[in-house]
Amino acid sequence: MSSTATPFGSRPVGTIVGSPYQGKVTHYKIKNAYATSIFYGDIVKWADNNPNTTVEKDTGTATLTPIGVFLGCAYTDPSTGQFTPNQMYTASTAADDLVAYVATDPFIKMQMQCNGAADQDDLGKNCNIVQTAGSTAIGTSKNTVGISTAATTATLPLKLIEFVDGPDSTVGDAYTDVIVMFNVGHQLLNTTGIG
């Protein structure tokens, strides 16, 4: 994995308060026929889609306002009338009961692949996120950590807090796997509400 670019978006793996990731998700509505696809591992945010607040893909790069990580959805398929769970939300799906499964913990730890080599000096730095269209074949995100942006800049959305050291990735590999957390902007910690 580390010698080739095989991005997979954000994979929840734990929380900085000490417990492992337990798979807890919150259910949020997706706007009927929302025009942007959302892939497993994409970052999503609350949006005021009058008259209701719904979730949508957070397309920011140097800034994010996340509510969490998208981990699939479900809806009644308009063509078959059947309940349909899905790893991704396909753009413009017309259903009144679209629901997203979102990992909302503001202190969640996420495994991501960098779009280049990360080294020990990058630990503790902040980075942007590189947004890339997800894989429609398997329904997963292809977003990566923009490691070339690693800096002390307070407003960058991701903080690099650990390296993945194992058979698939080590520090300095061409496409290093890292553990990141949200640095700023999480909507559950923001004192300003949604309109």
Single out the residue in 81, 103, 125 at which a domain terminates: 103
Residue 10 lies in a domain: no
Residue 173: domain span: 107-182
Q: Note the pLDDT tens digit of each residue in 96-123.
A: 999 999 999 999 999 999 999 999 999 9
Residue 155 lies in a domain: yes
Residue 39 lies in a domain: yes
Single pTM value for the model: 0.94
Residue 192 lies in a domain: no
pLDDT of amino acid 2? 67
Split at pLDDT 50, 70, 90, the class of 170 is confident
Q: Note the pLDDT tens digit of each residue in 64-102.
A: 999 999 999 999 998 899 999 999 999 999 999 999 999
CB 145 within 8 A of CB 178: yes
Residue 52 lies in a domain: yes
Q: Are residues 73 and 122 in the same domain?
A: no
Q: Are residues 27 and 66 in the same domain?
A: yes
75: closest CA among 51, 52, 63, 92? 92
Number of structural domains found in the chain: 2
Residue 1 confidence (pLDDT) above 60: no
Single out the residue in 58, 84, 103 at which a domain terminates: 103
Task: Express as a percent the part of the chain with pLDDT over 90.
Answer: 82
Single out the residue in 103, 124, 145 at which a domain terminates: 103
- Mean pLDDT of the 15-39 span: 90
Q: Note the pLDDT tens digit of each residue in 142-156.
A: 999 999 999 999 999
